[in-house]
Structure 1
Amino acid sequence: MSTSEPSADGSLPEDTEAVRRALVAWYEADHRAYPWRETTDPYAIWVSEVMSQQTQLDRVVRAFEGFVERWPDVEALAAADRSEVVGFWSSHSLGYNNRARYLHEAAGQVVEEFDGSFPETPAELQELQGVGPYTANAVASFAFNNGDAVVDTNVKRVLYRAFSVPDDDTAFEEAAEALMPDGESRVWNNAVMELGGVACEKTPACDTAECPWREWCDAYATGDFSAPDVPTQSAFEGSRRQFRGRVVRVLGEYDSLPLSELGPRIRVDYTPDGEHGREWLSDLLSDLADDGLVALDTDGETTARLRQ
């Protein structure tokens, strides 16, 4: 079975070179095709990474293609009207609209502070608005081949099952770094994420996906495919996120609207004094105002408009 058995504390196989070669060969022979995998343009990769946060990839593909067609580079995005960017985001159900606002603000940073050229290291990329450690590392890896080992939910699942790495963030990071070949972050991070997304999902497909690590895998040897708990995103339908998006879409069609006209346009069961009435809508709009997306005029009947 295994040519070098990992120990119970999660140590890696001795022949890490063979492990690396097997994974990279498997990935390069066949992998899912996404438009952001066909480019090293940091702008396109950055947009795709932000869109992919807690959003199904099939929906991301359609939105990504439309987004980069409309705003093909960082200069175009920086010059865009923020309300149009937020409206696009909301109309494509891409999750929290703050991400669209951060994209727009970060595009301005790249143009004004970096002369239109993206920074190339994870540390520098984190200077951009809304760019956290994971996104910064992904852009550095896929655009510049200059990143650290990516550790997302899929990668954790792979390492936990294959090499008995403990369910501990530091242990996952150390194991991921030890496995990644020097100077190969682009192909390696793509490959190990593909492994977790295709062969080592919650329900594994070891044989049908021809997992390249079966020879070394603890879970494959024992039949125990347990994995760390994976956080699940709350249902979108009927959620606060959904109605925030509706507010942005509706206000995108009008200069401004009083609450009495806005409420019925975003939910059919809106009644001014009901459970989902003025108080509920005012609270929702206050959140959007705090996020810098909506402006409220309280002179007389409260009206709302998108902030420019």
Structure 2
Amino acid sequence: MDETDADTFGSLPVDAVREALVGWYEADHRSFPWRETTDPYEILVSEVMSQQTQLGRVVDAWEAFLDRWPTAAALGDADRSEVVGFWTDHSLGYNNRAKYLHEAARQVETEFDGEFPTDPDGLSELMGVGPYTANAVASFAFDNGDAVVDTNVKRVLYRAFDVPDDDAAFETAARELMPDGESRVWNNAIMELGGVACEKTPRCDEAGCPWREWCHAYGTGDFTAPDVPMQPTFEGSRRQMRGRVVAALKEYDELALDDLGPRVRVDYAPDGEYGREWLLGLLEDLAADGLVDVDRGGDQPAARLQK
């Protein structure tokens, strides 16, 4: 960790944090076709289409757009009214995005000899390409971008590392946390984290968030964020129940399910909503985190803390 890392992250093991996130992302992530390409034109189209549009809706439109105009040259040669018509037919929102994309394709051909600029500054010269989009294309097409800072990333940094709600602080923290020369995988990974685990309603355990052991919000139960003004209730939450399991198993060497259950929830009933099946799911989460061992060899499963 360099001196600037130490200033922002204190004693946080930054290398371990980086490795945990990248490993989590590479092991399993949502599949989008633009994540399988490094073609800057295809990535630019995806970025423009994804602005304020759910990614699931973008896939069909993106594929149809590229079938019709497979290259920047093909798009630049198209009649602008056809491009705008496509945009409208696919309910992609503001039609000026289609106009700008069409103009950017023409610029690539006429001003850049058919080759996309490879860094954020150069890409920002294209019509309608702002700093965020320029950085995204540089990152995902050329592995040559800065750390992406969007609403999801701000939420992650605020919750995980208690970064102040300040744009400059977010920019600094994101820049220091990203490994040098790895903008493609890093930006994909941290955006994925914000999209599937650290959403407005967090899914820390369900999504196997790789930062739980360091996360300020996970440790305190306070999941407020710049775009999440209300604090989710900790009482009765899965996070609280996990803590009760660990506390009970610290007191006892081993507990069978029906002995452990009432120590976790007073309303535990073996066949009820909060019964054996529910408790086993909780234990399996803890086992996946390396905290608990589950022995299924007896009359009923039993749990103990991992040594």
Give the TM-score normalised by the residue count of structure 1: 0.71
- In the other structure, the counterpart of 1:134 is 132
**1:13 Cα offset (Å):** 4.7
Matched positions, count = 225
From 197, 200, 204, give the equivalent of 2:198.
Answer: 200
- In the other structure, the counterpart of 1:157 is 155
- In the other structure, the counterpart of 2:241 is none
Larger-Rg structure: 2
In the aligned structure 2, how far is the partner of 1:12 from the partner of 1:210? 25
**1:12 Cα offset (Å):** 5.3
- In structure 2, the CA distance between the partners of 1:17 and 1:58, relative to structure 1 (3 Å rule), is same
**1:59 Cα offset (Å):** 1.0
- In structure 2, the CA distance between the partners of 1:20 and 1:107, relative to structure 1 (3 Å rule), is same
- In the other structure, the counterpart of 2:21 is 23
- Per-residue deviation, residues 203-248 of structure 1 (Å, max 9, x unmatched): 00000100000010000000000010279xxxxxxxxxxxxxxxxx
**Larger RCO of the pair (alpha carbons < 8 Å, separation 6+):** 1
**1:135 Cα offset (Å):** 0.1
- In the other structure, the counterpart of 1:44 is 42
- In the other structure, the counterpart of 2:84 is 86
Aligned counterparts, 1:284-295, within 5 A: none
| SS of residue in 1 equivalent to 2:52 | coil
Amino acid at match of 2:56: D
From 215, 218, 231, give the equivalent of 1:217.
Answer: 215
Amino acid at match of 2:42: A
- In structure 2, the CA distance between the partners of 1:48 and 1:12, relative to structure 1 (3 Å rule), is farther
In the aligned structure 1, how far is the partner of 2:46 from the partner of 2:188? 14
- In structure 2, the CA distance between the partners of 1:61 and 1:12, relative to structure 1 (3 Å rule), is farther
Amino acid at match of 2:46: S
In the aligned structure 2, how far is the partner of 1:186 from the partner of 1:229? 25
- In the other structure, the counterpart of 2:224 is 226
- In the other structure, the counterpart of 2:74 is 76
Q: Is the 8 A contact 2:147 2:183 kept in 1?
A: yes
- In structure 2, the CA distance between the partners of 1:213 and 1:13, relative to structure 1 (3 Å rule), is farther
In the aligned structure 1, how far is the partner of 2:209 from the partner of 2:114? 41
- Per-residue deviation, residues 112-135 of structure 1 (Å, max 9, x unmatched): 000111000000000000000000
Aligned counterparts, 1:239-278, within 5 A: none
- In the other structure, the counterpart of 2:179 is 181
- In structure 2, the CA distance between the partners of 1:163 and 1:12, relative to structure 1 (3 Å rule), is farther
In the aligned structure 1, how far is the partner of 2:186 from the partner of 2:163? 19
- In structure 2, the CA distance between the partners of 1:192 and 1:100, relative to structure 1 (3 Å rule), is same
- In the other structure, the counterpart of 2:114 is 116
In the aligned structure 2, how far is the partner of 1:188 from the partner of 1:47? 21
- In the other structure, the counterpart of 2:101 is 103
Q: Is the 8 A contact 1:10 1:163 kept in 2?
A: no
From 146, 149, 155, give the equivalent of 1:148.
Answer: 146
- In structure 2, the CA distance between the partners of 1:13 and 1:55, relative to structure 1 (3 Å rule), is farther
Is 1:168 paired with 2:142?
Answer: no
- In the other structure, the counterpart of 1:244 is none
In the aligned structure 1, how far is the partner of 2:130 from the partner of 2:137? 11
Amino acid at match of 1:161: R
- In the other structure, the counterpart of 1:33 is 31
Q: Is the 8 A contact 1:10 1:166 kept in 2?
A: no
In the aligned structure 2, how far is the partner of 1:126 from the partner of 1:176? 20
CA RMSD, aligned part only? 1.7
Percent identity between matched residues is 76
**1:58 Cα offset (Å):** 1.1
In the aligned structure 2, how far is the partner of 1:230 from the partner of 1:92? 31
| SS of residue in 1 equivalent to 2:88 | helix
- Per-residue deviation, residues 98-145 of structure 1 (Å, max 9, x unmatched): 000000001000000001110000000000000000000000000000
In the aligned structure 2, how far is the partner of 1:12 from the partner of 1:145? 28
Q: Is the 8 A contact 2:200 2:227 kept in 1?
A: no
* Structure 2 residue ranges without an equivalent (≥5): 230-307
**1:10 Cα offset (Å):** 6.4
Amino acid at match of 1:29: A
Q: Is the 8 A contact 2:139 2:184 kept in 1?
A: yes
Amino acid at match of 2:101: L
In the aligned structure 2, how far is the partner of 1:194 from the partner of 1:45? 16
Give the TM-score normalised by the residue count of structure 2: 0.71
Q: Is the 8 A contact 1:137 1:147 kept in 2?
A: yes
In the aligned structure 2, how far is the partner of 1:13 from the partner of 1:70? 52
